[in-house]
A = this chain, B = another copy of it.
Amino acid sequence: MRKIILASHGDLSKGMLGAVKMIIGSSELGSNIDAYSLEIGKNPYDYVEKMKEEIKKNPNDEYIFISDIKGGSVHTALTQLCVYKNVKLFSGMNMNMVFELVFYKEKTLTTENGFRLLDEIKNGITFMDSQSFILQGSDEF
C-alpha cells in the first residue's frame, strides 16, 4: 500500500489536501493521503520519531512525503526518514506534484521514476505576462 503525506509549516498541507479534494473528490482521492502541519513551537523531529516507528512496522508499505520547501525545517527533518528503503521524499509541494503522485499507479516509485516525475512537475510551473500572452496566443488554452 502507498501512503502519501503532505508535510508543511502551518496549514499549507491541510489547505492543499482540501483543494485537491475539491477538484477530484474525496472518494477518488481515497484514504491513503494525509497532511502533517508543523505548528508554532512544535518540533518536526518529534513527528519524524513517530513516523520512524510506523515505517519500521510496515516495511511493505511505501511512504511518499511531499514537503513544502527544500532546506526548510520540515524537509530537513524528513530527510532522516530516507534511510528507509520504503520512503521517498519530494520538496517544493504544489498541486501538480500532488496530482502526479496521487495518480501514479505503478506498484513502487523507483528512483528513476521519481526523478522522471520531477520533469513533469516542473512543466507545470509557468509564467505569463502581456508580452508572452500575445506570443503564445490562444494555442495555450
- Give the interface of A toward B (CB within 8 A): 8-16, 18-19, 21-23, 40, 68-70, 72, 76, 79, 82-85, 87-97, 99, 109, 111, 114-115, 117-118, 121-122, 124-133, 140-141
Cα-based distance from A21 to B9 in the complex (angstroms):
10
Residues on B with beta carbons closer than 8 Å to the beta carbon of A18: 10-12
Can you list 24 contacts pairing A with B, beta carbon distance less than 8 Å? A8-B19, A9-B19, A11-B19, A12-B16, A12-B18, A19-B68, A69-B94, A70-B96, A70-B126, A82-B128, A89-B127, A91-B124, A91-B126, A92-B94, A92-B124, A92-B126, A93-B95, A94-B94, A97-B125, A114-B129, A114-B132, A115-B132, A117-B127, A122-B125
**Known interface pairs A114-B129, A126-B91, A133-B79. Does A23 touch B96 (Cβ–Cβ under 8 Å)?**
no
A78 to chain B, nearest CB (A): 9
